[in-house]
A and B are shown apart, each in its own frame.
Chain A
Amino acid sequence: MAKHTTKMICPKCGAEMNHHADKLVDPVRPEDLRQVNPALGGIVEETHCCPSCGAVESRRAG
């Protein structure tokens, strides 16, 4: 899975979010299997925080 190159924008206040964590999660639904990184053994979920308002968002590594 390639890494996203674009910054996430806070959906609440429009500020640029900080990508501060990658969490490995297990596939739950059948369609999740396509997103599994075989080298890591799961799906990489990026976690982003808004330094302006504290909002939290996540997205799967692209």
Chain B
Amino acid sequence: MTNERPLSIPVILGTTRKGRMSEHAARFMVAQIAKREGVVTELIDISRMALRVDDAGDGVKEPEFSAKMIRADALIIVTPEYNHSFPGLLKHVLDSCLKEYIHKAAGIVGVSAGPFGGTRVIQDFLPVIRELGLVNIFWDVNFGNVSKVFDESGNLLDEGFVARADKFLNELIWMARTLRYGRDNIALDA
């Protein structure tokens, strides 16, 4: 059986800080995905989630987020680099689900004020992605010196990111389609 639903690839904006430049990166990625046929997307801003912090997993799971993760075929996670790692609240949000992610594709977009473009946070993120059952792609998008990539209104100042995002999305969509086929059709013990 072939599933003809459009691919769902939401973008998770993984920081709640005021003045976050990652929002510009996330909105840019949403706009790039929206150009693709057969793919639907939306921005999931973790600052708009009322997730409790006095428990974890099923104890705090938000039904709306869970439903979006079930619908998703792939995730784009936009994360800034804070002290060489990812925001704790992003981890808390991701940890609220599990079955929703398994055998789905993930691509990470790193954002940093400095020159490294989130390379350290991405390396730090990979074991988490793996344990959540997501399948990471080998393309990243690295927004280094982010204040020079976007102006204050979020307009892109470096058109080179369009080509980088395109390569990233090509790989992510391929992986999303492949994994959907596997989830739908290939049994674990086949």
Contacts and interface: CB of A to CB of B under 8 A. Distances in A.
B98 A23 contact: yes
A33 to B, nearest CB: 16
Interface residues of B, number: 21
A25 B101 CA distance: 14
Interface stretch (B32-40, B137-145, B181-189): B181-189
* Interface size range on A against B: 20 to 34
A56 interface: yes
Given A51-B3, A54-B71, A56-B70, A20 B187 contact: yes
A54 B188 contact: no
16 contacts: A18-B185, A20-B102, A20-B103, A20-B187, A20-B188, A22-B188, A25-B98, A28-B57, A47-B99, A47-B133, A51-B1, A51-B184, A52-B1, A54-B5, A56-B70, A58-B98
Interface of A: 18-23, 25, 28, 45, 47, 49-58
